[in-house]
Each structure stands twice: as C-alpha cells, then as structure tokens.
Structure 1
Amino acid sequence: MFAILGWWLALSVIGWASWPLVARIFEHAPSKGYAYARGAGLLFVSYLFWITSHLWGVPNRTAVLWAFVALIGLVGVLIWARHGATLREAWRQERAHILIGEFLFAACFVLYAVHRSYDAAIVHTEQPMDFALLNGVLASTRMPPLDPWFAGASIHYYYFGYVLAAVMIRLVGLSGGVGYNLALAQTFALTVLTAYGLIYDVLRAQTRADLAGQARFWAVIGALALALASNLEGVLEGIKAAGWGSEALFRWFGVPGLAETASTHSWLPEGLWWWRASRILTDVRLNGQGVQLITEFPAFSFILGDLHPHLMALPCLLLALAAAFEGYAIARQGWDRSWWKAWQTWAIPLIIGALGVINTWDLPVGLVIALIALLFGGIVSPDRDKGRWVLYALAAVWLIAWSILFFLPYYALVRLPVRGLGFATLAKTPLRHWGLCFGLWLLPIVGELWASRTAASDAAWSRERGKGWTFWVAWPLILLIPWGFIALVGGWSRAALGIFYTLAKGPWLILAQSALLAALLADLSACLGLEEAIRDDSRIFARLLALVGVGVTYAVEFLYVRDVFESRMNTVFKLYYQAWALLGVAAIYAIFRLRQMEGWPRVFYLLSGIFLIACSYYPVAAAYTQAKGYRGSVTLDGTAFLQHSSPAEYRAYRYLLTHRREGEIIIEAPGESYVPETNRLSAWTGVPTPIGWVGHQIQWRGESEVLRRKVDIEYIYTAPDPLTVKALLRHYGASLLYVGPIERERFGLDERRLAWFASFLPIRYADEEIRFFGVP
C-alpha cells in the first residue's frame, strides 16, 4: 500500500506543480488543461533529465530528478505570481471538473494496481523484454540507456516510455519488479484522466453553460470506454458462452477459433478466450498461407499487462490531440509577430515530438492532426491579412522541425530496420471484421453524421446542400488515389492485380470507408465555411479525428510499412490502435450531439448506449479470467513468483542485483523470444549480456552482428580449451560467466564441465545448480 500511495503522491505533486505552466500552454482550453498536468508534467521532468544527461552527462539519480521537479514547480510559482487571478478563476469555474478528475485518477490508479496485484508476475508475451528495457534505463548511469540484451550498445528501440516509468520508480524509490506493475497502473490512470480532459474540452468548447454537467458526464463515460470497452468480438464471446446464437452466425463472422469454442452456459467462457478479440483478422495469400494480424485495443492491452511502447504512448497520444486542439484555437485566433514567444510554440512540438521516441508509429499521425488543425484554424480565422499564411507556413515548418530537433540525440543513434513501403494488393479486410473492430465507435459517428445531414436546422448541411457536389467529387477521388499511387510507384500490373483481387474478394469495405471519408470531408467543408457566430469548433475537431481515424484504417488496405515480418501485421496493429483512440473521442462527441437532438436520431443515441453497455462485458470477464478469479496471493512485485518456482534462481537474481559492479557484463545463454526463462538475470537486473532474445535483436539491429554474437556466446559454453573461452570473454568485456538451469540443459553442462570452468575462472557465487564464474 505504501508503494501505491507513494507513487500517487509523487505523480500528483508533479501534476500540481506543473498546472500553472500547463494552464499557460492550454490557455484556450475550457478546463485550462488541469487533467493534462500530471502527464505533461511527467513528460517535462523526464525530458529535462534525458536531454541534460545526453548533452552534459547529468547522472541518473533520485536527487537530480527531484531537482527537475522543483524547477518545474519554480516555473509554476512564477507563472502563478503573474497569472494567479486567471488560475483562481479557472478553479472557481471548473471546480467540479477538477475534483472529478482527481477522483477519477485516484480510483483508476488504485483499482488497476489492485488488479495487477493478483496478476503481477512478469512471465509472458513481451513482458520480459519490457522489463529488460525498463531495467536497462534504471541501471544506466547516464543517457542514452544501455541495452541489457546487447552489451556495449545503447537501446536500439523506441525507449522513452521506459524513461518515463524509470523516472517515477526512482522518485518513489521502488524496486523494478514493483515499479513495472505501478507503471502499468500509471499508464491506465493517465489514459483515463487525459481522455477525460480532452473529451471535456472538446465538448465544452461549443457547449452552453447549462450543458456543462452533461459534458462532464460524457467525458467520464468516454474516458472509461476508450480505456476499458472492448471491440464487438468481446460481445460475441459473451453470447457464445451463454449458449445463444447459432453456429452458422459465428462461422459467418469468421473470427478464428470462435465457432469451434464450446459454450459454457454461464457468464464466463473457458480458457484464453479473451485473446481472440486481439486477433480478428487473417490475411490469406495466394498459396493459401494465412498471416494472422493483430487487432489490439486498450482494454486488451491493460488486461494482458505488457508495458509496451504502443500502450505507454496512449496518454501522450491523447495529450498530443489536446495540443493539436490548442493549436487550432491559436490559429483561429490569429498570431501576431511575436508568436514565437508563446509557451505553446515550444511545448506543442515537444509534446508531439515525444510520440516519436515513445512509439515512433504515433508520430506521423500526431503531426498530421496537428498540421491539419493549424490549417483549419487558419481557414476560419477572422484575420484576413494575406501575410497570415506566411506565419501559418512558418508554424507548420517549426512544428515539424522541432518535434524532431527536441529529440535529435535519439534519432542520431537509433536506426530501426524499416525497408520502405509495401503494397497490400493481395490482402483485404472483410467489412464485417472492420465492423467488429470499430463498430462501437462507427455507429454513433455515422448516426450523428446522417442526422446532421438530414436535419433542416443544421446550418452546415444547409450550406452543403446548396453546393451539393463535395461528397460526389470526393468519393471517387478517394477511391482512385490509392490505386493511382500504387500504379505510379509499384507499376500498373501491380495496381491491376490489386483491383482484380479486391473485386474478387468483395470491394465492400473500401467502398464503405471511402464513402464515410467523403461524407466527413463534405461535412468539414461545410463547417469551415460557416460564419464565426454559428461555427462549431468542437464539431470541426471531432470530424478531423474521425477523418484521420477512418483514414488510417483505409490506408492499410493499400500500403504497409515493410519490416522483418514482411506483412501488414505490424502496420495494422499500430494504426488500428491509433484509430481506436481517435474514433473513440469522435464517437463520444457524436453521442453527445445525438443526445441534444429530437426525433429519430435518438435511436442512434440509444443504440450507442446499448453498445457501450455490451462492450463493458469484456473487461470485467477478461480481467476476472486473467486474475484467476481474484483468489490467489497478492503482491505488486513482478519478480516474487520466482521465489516459489525456482528459489535458487531467485537468490542468484538478488545476489547480482545487490552485488553488481559498475560496468559489469554477464554471459548468459542466448535467449529465445517469448521464452521468459531465457536471459532472466540480465532482464531483471539491467546488467548487460552480449546477446539476449535473438529474434527481437534481429528486429531492431538486423542479422549479421546479432547472429555473430549468438555463435560466439554459445561457443564460450562449449569451447574445448580455456584460451578460447578467455579470449571470447575478454572480447565482450565480460566480468561474469553465468551457469543456470537453461545453460545446463542447453549445453549439457555437468559437474565435470563446471569443475573445468572453475579450474581457470574463480567462482564468485554458488548455490545448488547456479554458478557465477568471475573473469580475472
């Protein structure tokens, strides 16, 4: 309990100290950015440490980090001294919003931490890798952090999310095993809090004062739904478990394994049922080989418990959307010639640029939304000075440049093995699967768009009906542009093959997506042309989020980023994850508007409510399943399980953690991806080993050096003469040779072989089957 309270208090202090600064950055937001203060404050503190450590060698110490917190607090005090009246007025007007946000954050943080205490063990999927990188940051004396699975090199992956977690662990003074699980709780609570603030600001930007209570209510519902609701496959799982529905229905949906699962005739399915919702799609190649795609969403990620970049970036992505909305407000108001002096000029590129080093996939989407928001703000601005477009162009260049320049030390060192763009000409998503993934959000978006289109009182669509051509021009263009790009870059034959394959498989998805994109563009065109007195800025921004959200899911039907997987699996995974957040915010806005309408649009409002309730089944049932009914022992230490499953290994881990020396390098058997028993000591302590999980290192660095290290390390354990062993140990700067259960089994190391090692390497530690041999 002390760990939970200490973490909450430390992060709250950061948030409270940062709010005056954050309020200046988000000065156009109705809430003055209070809900963003914790996430933004932690980002600012972590960035100050990271950049000063990179440039001037500032050490990775607790006192240093608290000094940066104090610096942010000092800036806050100075701002309060000058703008205290504005902040006090914000507190008076938004007291209910602020108090709800405080309660929401505390409740989400504590409840999720309690859930993790029943499922704390770091034992599956990407968790050992995530723990390794987190401990790599904690064990590094300075930035860049050392890679514990590639001794002598810095981490070659987007790692800044682990810096955010490590900063909090150091500030509170916790072990890595406890910090891992509380970092997950922090990510969950910040996701909900930031989404709450963003949705509230979007709803309140154009809402009458008497609707503020409704805005707060739907901001809470929307934030919880964005983090906890499932896609519609989760609903099918509950229906199947209850014994409802026919087998033909489940086969038609085509979710792998769903139709074959036996009904339990209870509220809870059996086995690892909740995994299927994250693997809805399968691409089938011409040779009949299937490639399963990843369709994760936040609720699945929080239940799984991988502290992975795509999850850690979620609060920052939402913060970047809030920054984009602030950019829209600034551009709409119009800049003077001293625009570069504003807090936002520096903070917005920093916030959006952080996406690139937390989860690089999010940076292009964050930049696109921010740049379009600036453009839209310029279009609706009452400033008609022709020179304003020069300022807007400079602002766009500034935003792009500084989002990279702020994190230039990272980009100077990290080279991810991306091989360009691939063409998804023989991979198409069925319309029903897209509906399963995003139907929860698409229903209110489409319903509200349709209701606005047919409402005689809607000013924007009254204007659009006067023109009548935007939709019909946009739709065919949206359909043709991707094929034209493929023909231009990949050749006409490839484009022709893709068109033929799409027609053969059924073009219904891209027809539906392109029609929705065209409708959103038509609505935006109409809204942007309205007079200021009746223009709805909330609607413009919500439409922008929906446009980009649908757009990225449309794009993966044609293109993907080529990586080591050579399929669109990873691209679908990362872009669908972003789309969930964008469409979620847009959908809550749509539900809010439907609530204000009369007549048949209320049907969509009621259906949306039913969908939200139905999709809340999955997080409850899945969390209960994963936590084994909340009946086991309770701990927040993700390493504690090893005390019971392998006591000798646990004692070896504790020995290395407490007796490691600066610059220590340990030799372990090369690891196997997703086998948690391999490379456990380097992962859990941050003491580097020359080669960890081989498959992951190949993803990050390519094959040549990784495979060479693998061969060398294996030879250390099997070499016939001491001179070769010593030469390889010296080559990798090793100070310890480890022999544990994996090494004994893989290399057949019996007591005779261990005695042979001991004849020329001193034993530093021995306990049952464990040995640490020192390197003289």
Structure 2
Amino acid sequence: LAFLIWYLSITVLGWLAFPLAYRLLTALPDRGYTLARALGLLLWGYLFWMLASLGIAQNDIGGLMLALSIVLALSAWALAGWKRNPALVAESNEGSLQGWLHRHRRLIIGWETLFFLAFAFMAWVRACDPALVGTEKPMELAFISGILRSPTFPPRDPWLAGYAISYYYFGYVMAAMLAKVSGVTGAVAHNLMTALVFALNALGASGVVYNLLVIAREKAGRTSAANGRKACGASFWLSLLGPLFLLFVSNLEGTLEVLHRRGVFWHITPDGRAASFFWSWLDLKELSEPPMQPLGWLPQRYLWWWRASRVVMDYDLAGNWKEVIDEFPAFSFVLADLHPHVLVMPFALLAIGLALNLFLGGWRGHTTLAGFWMPLAGDGLACLALTLGGLSFLNTWDILPYAALTIGAFLLRRLEEEGWGWKRLEEAATFALPLLALSLLLYLPFYVGFSSQLGGLLPNLINPTRGAHLWIMFAPLLLPLMAYCFYLLRREKRQVRWGQAFGLACALLLLLWALSWLLAWVIAQYRPDVTQGWLQEQGLSTVSQLFLAANRRRLEACGGWLTLLLFLFLLFALILPARERQPEKAGEITSEKTPRSSAMAPSLPLLPASPAPFVLLLALVGGLLVLGVEFFYLRDVFGTRMNTVFKFYFQTWMLWSVAAAFVSAEMLTRLRGVGGWLYRLGWTSLLLMALVYPTLAFPSRTANFQFKNLHEAVRQARASDDWTVVRRVWTLDGAAHLDQFYPEVAAAIRWLQNAPDGILVEAVGGSYTDAYDRLSAYTGLPTVVGWITHEDQWRGNTFWERDQRFYDVRTLYETGSWEEALAILRKYHIRYVYIGPTERSAYRVNEVKFQRALTPVFQQGESVIYEVP
C-alpha cells in the first residue's frame, strides 16, 4: 500500500507540474515531461522548506498542502497563460499542451511504463534487503526521522540535542514530506525514497537522451513529417540507453572479479605458491591474493561487491595505503545508502535538461535583477536559480559542475549565434554572476545556519591516479566518448587547429601542476610546523626531496594524466575555432550530410543547434573534474583526497553516462559497413563487461532476491495456515529486523514514536555502528550526542562540545550520585532515559538512582525507559 501511495503521489505531482515545465522548457522535444516529476518535487520541497523556515507554516500536513497549493497555482498560471496568449502557442513548435499530449500519447505511455517498472524494481530490491544497518543508513534514517519529528525548520539534529542539522539535508526533507503524506515511518520512507530516486533517474536520463537524439535527427534532416512518429519511437527505444548507462553500467571491477575467481593469469611456482605478475601489477587489494579454491565463476568472497567502489589505490611515499572512494551509481544502489550524492541525482539530471534547453535557444530575452542586466528571460532565471541553488542544498559538491555546465551551455549558444570574440566572455559574466547570486539568495536560510568540516584547498602532490585504475573505473564511458570524438574529427569539414588544441591541453595540465606546487610552497611558508610533520610521515626531511620524489612518482604513474591529456586534446580540437577547408577542385559542392549553412558556423564542428557541442561540453566538464583531483583536493577530517575523488568521480559518472548513452545511440545507428560492424562488436563486448557487476552484485546483496526464503516461508504457511510469515520475506520496513532480533528494542522504539516530544539519552558509540544511537535514529527524538565522528564531519573537529557530551552521558549512566545525574539531566533538558542491552554492555550502569528518583514509563526485558518530570 505504501508503494502505491508513493507512486500515485509522485505521479500526480508530476502531472501538476507538467504545465509549468511545458511553459518553461520550450526548446526540448519532450517539453520537460520526463523532468516534470523532479521539477515538481523540487518546487514543492523548496516552498514547504521556505515557508516552514520563515515560520509561515508548520512542519505538518497543513504546511505541505499550503506549499502544494502554490505549486498548483503556478501550474494553473502557466496553463492559463497558454490559453490566454495565442502568441505563445504560435511561437511553440508543438502548439498547445493538449495537442502535444495527444500527439505524444504513445511516448507518454512508454515513459510512464519505464517509471513504474524502475520504481517497482528498486522497491523489490530494497524489500529483499530492507534492514537499515551498516554503513551510513542509520545516519540517513536519523535525518528523516528527525525532520519528521521537528515542529518547524531548521530541523533538529537528532544526534546533537539543542542544535539544528548542519548538513545539506534538502533530500531528507523531500523524503520526510512524502512519508508524512503517506503516513509511513522513516524506516519505510528510507527504502521507498531509494526506489523513487532510482525511478526518477531512469525517467530523467531517458528524457535527456531522447531530447538529444530527436534534436540530432532534426538538425541532420533525418526526420520528416511522414516518418516523424516512427523516428520518435526509435528515439524512445534508443533513449533507454540513458538509464542503462547511468544506473546499470558499472566499472570493470566486476569482470576482473570473475577472471580472478577463474584463476586467470595465475600460475603455480616451483615452490608451490600461486603467483601472478598481472594481479600484483594491477594492485586491487583482495584481487592481489590467490583465488579461493576450488576455482569457479561466481565471486564468493564476503562483500566482494564492495571492492568496485575502491579501485583507485593511493599510497603515501612511505608506502602506507590511503583509502580512496570511487563510487558509481550502480554500486550506490546495490549498497542502497540514501546519501546526498544519491538524493541529488534526479535534480542533477534536471539541471542537465535545463542547460540543454538553454543551449537550444530557450529563455531568450533579458532580465534586470537589482540593477544588473542579464541576457536571460525572467522565467529562465528563476528556474535555473531554483535548480542550481537546490543542488547546493541537496549536495553542495554539485554546484560547481552544474553551474559550469549551465554557463558553458549559454556560452556555446552565443558562440553559435555570434561567433568567437571577447564579447562572449563579457556576456557569460553578465549571465553567470546574477544567476549564482540569486541561487545563493533563494536558499539563504540554509547557509545562515550551515557549518562545515571543509578547511580549504590542498595540493595533491604524491598521488596521481594510475592509468590502469582510471581505465578500470571509466572505460565503459570513456571509450565511447573517445570513439565519438574520432568519429566527429573524421567527418570534420574544416581544418582543425591541432597545434592550438594540443597546446591548450598541455598548458592546462602544466598550469594545474604549477599551481599545486605554488599552493604547497605557500603552505610551507605559513605553516612550517605542519609541513615538517607531514614530511616526516613520508620519510623525508626536506621539500626538495619531496619535489623529486613526487614528480618521479607522477612520471612513473603517467597513464592517468596522459589519458586525460589525450581526451582533453580531442575535445579542444572539436570545440576550438577552425578554418574552412578550401575545395580541392573547382565546382566541388558541400555534402548533403553537411549543408552549406554548417560551413558558416564560426566555431562548432557540426550543424548549428546540433546537440554535439552540448555533448562535448558534458564530456569536458566531467574531464576537468577528473583532472582537477589529480592536483588538488578539499581539506576535511579525513586528511586525504578520499572524499574529493568520491564526490567528483560520481558527478563525472553522471555527466559522462548521459553523454556516452547519446554517442552510443548515434554511432550505432550512423556507422555503416565494416567499420560499423566492428564498432558494434567492440561496443557490445564492452557493455557486457560493464554489466557483469550489477548482474552479480544485486543477487549477492539480496541473497538471490530471497527466493529460497520465500519458498521456505510458503511451505511453513501451508503447514500452519499462517500467511503472515510470507509477507515478512519481502518488506519495505527498514525496522522489521528489530522485531526479529531485538524485540524489546523494537517495542521501546514504538513506544517513543507515540510518546510526547522530548530529549532522549542513550548509549553513545562509534560511527557506522547501528547498535548505538538507535532509538534517536528510529524515533527522531534528539539524543544528547550521537555518532561523534559524523558530527565532526558536519561541523568540523573544532566543535569541542561533543567530547563533553560524550563524557556527560557516561557519567549519567555510571554515577551513583543522584545529584550529579540530576545536574546532567537538567543541563541537557533530558526527558527520557533509556537503558537497554547496548547501554548495559557499554557502561557500568548504576540504575538504582533512576529507580529511586524516576518513574519507568516503559519496560520489557532488559529495556526500560525512565521519564524525567
């Protein structure tokens, strides 16, 4: 029932928002239909959050309905505008909204089917493994539960009583909104939100790729009125490559797992040991060890699927391994952590769609904002600012690439219209500055209360990414993109400025290298103590030794940066201005496939308004992200580039997967002859290798989708005539495992979920441990202090108060003095004292003082809750 309520809720929201999308996204062939759900959820969430933050609305159903009524009013305004202004209909290529819906009804059925199947598939996957334990699921659940329990905004931090959440929590607000509407707990909402994000990604990726394909066909003259419906149908089926590349295509570690399990490249030495030069050279942790015996096909190692998110291997100069995270979407949905980098994905696709609409000529006009003139219509400014600002609130790391993509899309459009010139940079500045300022202003309440662990920029001097690891990570996306670049260069009818392109790529690489050492020199001058300590950790004594050792390592591990240099060289060769080739013979005419109008394009390689420049822009932004972490990373509590690589690689996968899906569809349909067949053979082989991981990982993660347990449950049900046991095999309740393994804890949670609001105290443990801080996570009641390491990540390790709280909680449980305990209870305004199995094992609990002074309001087994009057 909860699944159906969520499905119907988001579908209705999408239909309510579609008139607004239709009005805004006039340049997109799908008129924003595939992005309407994401747009509606973003707008609804923003209005609700802002109204609650300003005190205009409460965090309840009334506030949600007030925000939804504003969304409905905006859509009604957009719909009425079309009916009231025939000029808008006349200017539109598609005419009225009703006409568009009628002509594209088959497409709509296809997209609705895709969304439902994607939502149902991931809901089923989560139902097979619903328990919210391990990694950061307890943290995400705590945020959802805390927002559900907060009377207003900013929401309370459930793991630091008295403080608001200091994190980019917008995605959890959206999850809590849908939970409140559907009446489910946070534990159910967590799993349903994972499924919803997956489905929104599938729909959005399909829509963006569809729009690119239709525009490509139209501009190439391959679509006529007679075959338009057939072409749209073909574009729809090809657009399914979008969700395939985004959500299922994975890095090549899964294929390597199978090869390793088969014992490929291993041999037995004369002394009886298993050895392999290849696996030792590859250096992928567990894969460097001999395979399990007997050999087989399927990986059997515990949590074998985890290694795919750790293929980049960093070492300091002393040889110590430093963990690096390189997640990609398929891994994220196998793991099913509802982290901000996952929650932001549908809205990142929305940003890509908006940038494409801008590139194709949408929102022409100008706006004056606070005295600043900018070359963008007012509705476009509002839509872009709302989305870019929302990305920062959802996952602050995303603002950089998608702001760059938006500005780049505007610049490409102006280059097509007017050609290259310094004036274009001035226009880009007048476009970007007001847009970014408004993006920040719209979400100002978030920034006012936000503190962060980030401590500036640091140089990455000693850890270049090895070429082998980079190719394992990105080959399924990078190879199609490179092949497309070569394909475009072969078709190019102009003299490409090879020298300028290569020089620019080399200059960029050298500039980043020089800036990284300049930053290192500045740090050494201002913090010599820190520099000397770091040098000693590396086994060095002087900066000159570091310079030699670091650059020697960068030269030895040259495969990564040489790959990126080649890729950027190809992109620059296609993007930079070029001279027209002179006809070799008199009377030579332009090919039908390249009309004469394209010869006048001042800078771009294909037809005017072709999507190819935009696709190249997607590839370029992703390439710059990957190149950037070769030389710099953001300082955080981890002290390495682990988190920076994680965030930027994931965003690169988003950008490159959309681009790779489009270029694959284009080349599969355009290439003919032997070259076409060779491309299809290579592409299919690469795709099959990239699909090994999800094919094996999803069944491994879900115990083969619980079919064995389902069969056993059915057998028991038939014997006992009790079919409730069957329903427990597949469930979306992330707290269901508590009833099975910790029934008294589950009962305490249910009691607190219905109890009056108040601050809770429970055992404090380390991060990534679901046994600690469990009641606050499931109930949303704030506890004195929760996962301390995560509070450090959210607020910075200078937040000293968490240590005092840690010791106060221990003292509260262990002291025999009621006066001392009472002082702590009053200090933190504690209402509920919980003592359960975890508390009894973590502390030497002195319960007598509570028994004498307080009244137990809940008791079952070892679990008891005392209420402080």
Same fold (TM over 0.5): yes
Check whether the contact 1:762–1:773 (CA below 8 A) recurs between aligned residues. Answer: yes
Q: Which amino acid in structure 2 is aligned with residue 398 of structure 1?
A: P
Q: Deviations over 1:99-124 (max 9, x none)?
A: 22111100000111111111000111
- The aligned counterpart of 2:408 is 372
Q: Which amino acid in structure 2 is aligned with residue 488 of structure 1?
A: L
Question: Which one of the candidate residues 345, 349, 353 is aligned to 1:318?
Answer: 349
Q: Deviations over 1:631-653 (max 9, x none)?
A: 24121100011111011111111
- Please give the residue correspondences for 1:190-229 in structure 2 after superposition, counting only pairs within 5 Å: 190-207=200-217, 208-209=222-223, 211-229=231-249
Q: What TM-score comes out, normalization by structure 1 length?
A: 0.94
Quickly say closer, same or farther: Cα 1:233–1:699, change in 2 above 3 A.
same
Deviation at 1:162, TM superposition (A): 0.3
Q: Distance in 1 between matches of 2:76 and 2:483?
A: 47
- The aligned counterpart of 2:448 is 412
SS in structure 1 of the partner of residue 576 of structure 2: helix
Deviation at 1:512, TM superposition (A): 1.8
Question: Which one of the candidate residues 104, 112, 124 is aligned to 1:114?
Answer: 124
Question: Which one of the candidate residues 624, 633, 653 is aligned to 2:749?
Answer: 653
Q: Distance in 2 between matches of 1:196 and 1:420?
A: 37
Question: Which one of the candidate residues 537, 560, 572 is aligned to 1:509?
Answer: 560
Q: Distance in 1 between matches of 2:424 and 2:458?
A: 39
Deviation at 1:535, TM superposition (A): 2.6
- The aligned counterpart of 2:136 is 126
Quickly say closer, same or farther: Cα 1:323–1:497, change in 2 above 3 A.
farther
- The aligned counterpart of 2:681 is 606
Q: Which amino acid in structure 2 is aligned with residue 604 of structure 1?
A: Y
Q: Which amino acid in structure 2 is aligned with residue 17 of structure 1?
A: L
Deviation at 1:88, TM superposition (A): 2.6
Q: Identity of counterpart residues, as a percentage?
A: 32
- Please give the residue correspondences for 1:369-518 in structure 2 after superposition, counting only pairs within 5 Å: 369-382=405-418, 392-453=428-489, 455=490, 458=491, 461-465=492-496, 467-491=497-521, 496-497=547-548, 500-518=551-569
Check whether the contact 2:367–2:378 (CA below 8 A) recurs between aligned residues. Answer: no
Q: Deviations over 1:3-24 (max 9, x none)?
A: 1111100000000010010112
- The aligned counterpart of 2:822 is 726
More deviation, 385-394/152-161: 385-394
Deviation at 1:526, TM superposition (A): 4.5
Quickly say closer, same or farther: Cα 1:201–1:727, change in 2 above 3 A.
same
SS in structure 2 of the partner of residue 666 of structure 1: strand
Deviation at 1:266, TM superposition (A): 3.5
Q: Which amino acid in structure 2 is aligned with residue 215 of structure 1?
A: S
Q: Deviations over 1:142-175 (max 9, x none)?
A: 1111000000000011111101111111122212
Q: Deviations over 1:689-733 (max 9, x none)?
A: 110011111222224111111111111112231111101110101
The alignment status of 1:353 with 2:353, answered yes or no, reads no
Q: What TM-score comes out, normalization by structure 2 length?
A: 0.84
Question: Which one of the candidate residues 597, 602, 610 is aligned to 1:537?
Answer: 610
Quickly say closer, same or farther: Cα 1:127–1:372, change in 2 above 3 A.
same
More deviation, 474-483/563-572: 474-483
Check whether the contact 1:165–1:179 (CA below 8 A) recurs between aligned residues. Answer: yes
The alignment status of 1:770 with 2:863, answered yes or no, reads yes
Q: Distance in 1 between matches of 2:279 and 2:844?
A: 49
Question: Which one of the candidate residues 295, 307, 313 is aligned to 1:282?
Answer: 313
Check whether the contact 1:225–1:612 (CA below 8 A) recurs between aligned residues. Answer: no
More deviation, 213-222/133-142: 213-222
Deviation at 1:554, TM superposition (A): 1.0
The alignment status of 1:624 with 2:718, answered yes or no, reads no
The alignment status of 1:170 with 2:180, answered yes or no, reads yes
Check whether the contact 1:331–1:374 (CA below 8 A) recurs between aligned residues. Answer: no
Q: Distance in 1 between matches of 2:278 and 2:485?
A: 30
Q: Which amino acid in structure 1 is aligned with residue 140 of structure 2?
A: D
Q: Which amino acid in structure 2 is aligned with residue 759 of structure 1?
A: R
Q: Which amino acid in structure 2 is aligned with residue 529 of structure 1?
A: P
Check whether the contact 1:331–1:377 (CA below 8 A) recurs between aligned residues. Answer: no
Gaps of 5+ in 2: 84-94, 267-275, 369-373, 523-542, 579-600, 710-728
Deviation at 1:27, TM superposition (A): 1.3
Check whether the contact 2:464–2:554 (CA below 8 A) recurs between aligned residues. Answer: no
SS in structure 1 of the partner of residue 322 of structure 2: strand
More deviation, 612-621/192-201: 612-621
- The aligned counterpart of 1:250 is 279
Check whether the contact 1:425–1:501 (CA below 8 A) recurs between aligned residues. Answer: no
Q: Deviations over 1:474-516 (max 9, x none)?
A: 1321221112212333229689447623445332221221221
More deviation, 193-202/488-497: 488-497
Q: Which amino acid in structure 1 is aligned with residue 742 of structure 2?
A: S
The alignment status of 1:296 with 2:352, answered yes or no, reads no
Check whether the contact 1:334–1:381 (CA below 8 A) recurs between aligned residues. Answer: no
Deviation at 1:765, TM superposition (A): 1.8
Quickly say closer, same or farther: Cα 1:380–1:331, change in 2 above 3 A.
farther
Q: Distance in 2 between matches of 1:170 and 1:498?
A: 57
Q: Distance in 2 between matches of 1:139 and 1:255?
A: 44
Quickly say closer, same or farther: Cα 1:625–1:188, change in 2 above 3 A.
same
- Please give the residue correspondences for 1:133-152 in structure 2 after superposition, counting only pairs within 5 Å: 133-152=143-162
Q: Distance in 2 between matches of 1:57 and 1:75?
A: 19
Q: Which amino acid in structure 2 is aligned with residue 694 of structure 1?
A: I
Deviation at 1:212, TM superposition (A): 3.3
Q: Distance in 2 between matches of 1:490 and 1:327?
A: 39
Check whether the contact 2:857–2:867 (CA below 8 A) recurs between aligned residues. Answer: yes
Q: Which amino acid in structure 2 is aligned with residue 546 of structure 1?
A: A
Gaps of 5+ in 1: none
Quickly say closer, same or farther: Cα 1:472–1:768, change in 2 above 3 A.
closer
Quickly say closer, same or farther: Cα 1:154–1:430, change in 2 above 3 A.
same
Deviation at 1:291, TM superposition (A): 0.6
Check whether the contact 1:97–1:216 (CA below 8 A) recurs between aligned residues. Answer: yes
Q: Distance in 2 between matches of 1:566 and 1:61?
A: 41
More deviation, 140-149/478-487: 478-487
Deviation at 1:452, TM superposition (A): 2.1
Question: Which one of the candidate residues 655, 666, 671 is aligned to 1:597?
Answer: 671
Deviation at 1:213, TM superposition (A): 3.4
Q: Which amino acid in structure 1 is aligned with residue 565 of structure 2?
A: S
- The aligned counterpart of 1:272 is 303
Quickly say closer, same or farther: Cα 1:658–1:364, change in 2 above 3 A.
same
Quickly say closer, same or farther: Cα 1:567–1:533, change in 2 above 3 A.
closer
Q: Deviations over 1:388-436 (max 9, x none)?
A: 8766533211211111111110011011021111111011211010000
- The aligned counterpart of 2:31 is 32
Deviation at 1:464, TM superposition (A): 3.6
Check whether the contact 1:464–1:526 (CA below 8 A) recurs between aligned residues. Answer: no
Q: Distance in 1 between matches of 2:793 and 2:575?
A: 41
The alignment status of 1:237 with 2:288, answered yes or no, reads no
Quickly say closer, same or farther: Cα 1:383–1:464, change in 2 above 3 A.
closer
More deviation, 694-703/283-292: 694-703
Give the aligned length. 764
SS in structure 2 of the partner of residue 362 of structure 1: helix
Question: Which one of the candidate residues 783, 787, 790 is aligned to 1:689?
Answer: 783
- The aligned counterpart of 2:849 is 756
Cα RMSD between the aligned structures?
2.4
SS in structure 2 of the partner of residue 56 of structure 1: coil
Q: Distance in 2 between matches of 1:90 and 1:469?
A: 48
- The aligned counterpart of 2:631 is 558
Q: Distance in 2 between matches of 1:549 and 1:389?
A: 21
Check whether the contact 1:669–1:743 (CA below 8 A) recurs between aligned residues. Answer: yes
Deviation at 1:53, TM superposition (A): 0.8
Q: Distance in 2 between matches of 1:556 and 1:200?
A: 32
Quickly say closer, same or farther: Cα 1:331–1:111, change in 2 above 3 A.
closer
